[in-house]
Amino acid sequence: MKAIVHQEYGPAEVLRYTEVGKPSIGDDQVLVRVRAASINHGDRVAMTGTPRIARLAFGLRRPRQTILGRDIAGTVELAGANVTGLQVGDEVFGEMSQRGFAEYVAAPEPHLAPIPAGVTFEQAATLPVAAATALQALRLGQVEPGRTVLVNGASGGVGTFAVQLARTLGAEVTGVCSTRNAELVRSIGAHHVIDYAREDVTRGAGRFDAIVDLAGNHRLSAFRGILAPKGVYVSSSGVGGAVLGPLPRLFAIAVTSPFVSQRLRGLTAKRSVDDLTFLAGLVATGKLTPVIQRTYPLSETADAIRFIEAEHARGKVVLTV
C-alpha cells in the first residue's frame, strides 16, 4: 500500500509517498481502508521533531513511527476475532496513534466511531483532533448560555469548531484572527471579531467568562487581565519555543492557579469516542459544519503541509485517499 513516510525529522521535504507493507491486525483491531485524513498541528510537530521536547514521545534521534497521521475516516475492511461492535463495510472515523496517512491503517475498535448518514469521509476526518479539542476546551471553560467566551485563534482547525460549538452552547462569542479571516469567523457564528493585526485583545476593556487560547501569543498575566474574577482560562496552544514548546506556559498556569480566584487550565485533549459520536451527530444535523479550505490527494501531503505553513490555512486541510 502507499503511505506518507518520514525516516528523519525536518520540513515537508522529508516526507515520501512510498510503498510500505499493508498492516496486519490484532484480535481487537480492525483494518480500515482510509478514504480521507486531516492534518493537525501535531502532525507538523511529529514531522519536524520540534519542539525538541516532543522527541521524548516521537523518538530521540529519528521518528520511531515512520508513517505520519492521526485523523482518519474510512471503511472497515477486516475485523479481528474479538471485535463485536464493527463489521466489514462500516464507515468509521477516529484518531490514530500515527500511521493514518496511508491507504490502510490497523485501529483498535474503541478508537473508532461510526460516521452517520449525511456526513462525508472528508468531514468526518476533520473531527477527531480539532473538533474534540474544541469541545473539551469549552467544557473545561464551563461555557454555557449567556457566558462570554473569547476564542483566541478562531480561524484555524480548532478555532473554527470552537466558535461554532460555543455559539451552539448559547455563549456570546468573540473570535480573534487575522484580517483576511475575519469574515469567515463572523460567518460561522462569532458575535464579535478582533483582528489581531490591528488590535491587541488583551488591551481591551472587556472581561470574558472564559478564554480558549489556541494561539498562545500573549503572556498569561495579560490574558488574566481580560478574564472575569471567576473566569476560566484554557490554554490549548502547542505554540512556544523550539525546545520546550508550550511547557513554560503550562508551568506558569500550574504555579499561578492555586493563588488566584480565576481558574487557569492547560488542556491535553483526550481521545473520546463519545465526543466523536456527539460531534458527528451535530454535523449530520447541520448544527456544526467543518470548514475545509482545501483538499489534496494523499500523494501531495507534503504540498498540503507547505500550504498550511505558508498560508495559515482557514479551518482544516484534508487529504483524500
Ligand X SMILES: NC(=O)c1ccc[n+]([C@@H]2O[C@H](COP(=O)([O-])OP(=O)(O)OC[C@H]3O[C@@H](n4cnc5c(N)ncnc54)[C@H](OP(=O)(O)O)[C@@H]3O)[C@@H](O)[C@H]2O)c1
- Smaller CB separation from ligand X, 61 or 198: 198
- Smaller CB separation from ligand X, 25 or 37: 37
Which residues form the interface with ligand X (CB under 6 A)?
40-41, 129-130, 133, 152-159, 176-178, 181, 196, 214-215, 217, 236-239, 267-269, 312-313
Look-up of cell digits 515520501: 16
Task: Tell me how far, at minimum, the Cβ of 207 lies from ligand X, in Å.
Answer: 19
Look-up of cell digits 521536547: 53
Task: Tell me how far, at minimum, the Cβ of 35 lies from ligand X, in Å.
Answer: 21
- Smaller CB separation from ligand X, 83 or 149: 149
C-beta of residue 233 within 8 angstroms of C-beta of residue 149: no
Instruction: Please state whether beta strands 91-95 and 71-79 pair in parallel, antiparallel, or not at all (unpaired).
Output: antiparallel
Beta-carbon contacts of 318 under 8 Å, excluding residues fewer than 6 positions away, are 36, 37, 38, 39, 122, 125, 126, 292, 294, 295, 296
Task: Tell me how far, at minimum, the Cβ of 269 lies from ligand X, in Å.
Answer: 3
Instruction: Please state whether beta strands 208-213 and 227-235 pair in parallel, antiparallel, or not at all (unpaired).
Output: parallel
- Smaller CB separation from ligand X, 114 or 175: 175
Task: Tell me how far, at minimum, the Cβ of 213 lies from ligand X, in Å.
Answer: 9
CA–CA separation, 220 and 235 (whole Å)? 9
Packing angle of the helix pair 157-168, 273-284 (nearest 10 deg): 70
Task: Tell me how far, at minimum, the Cβ of 100 lies from ligand X, in Å.
Answer: 15
Residue 283: all three cell numbers together: 454535523
Phi then psi dihedrals of residue 179, to 5 deg = -50, -50
- Smaller CB separation from ligand X, 76 or 292: 292
- Smaller CB separation from ligand X, 104 or 233: 233
Phi-psi region of 89 (alpha: psi -120 to 50; beta: other; left: phi over 0): left
Measured at CB, which residue is nearest to ligand X? 156
Beta-carbon contacts of 229 under 8 Å, excluding residues fewer than 6 positions away, are 261, 262
Phi then psi dihedrals of residue 114, to 5 deg = -75, 145
Task: Tell me how far, at minimum, the Cβ of 116 lies from ligand X, in Å.
Answer: 23
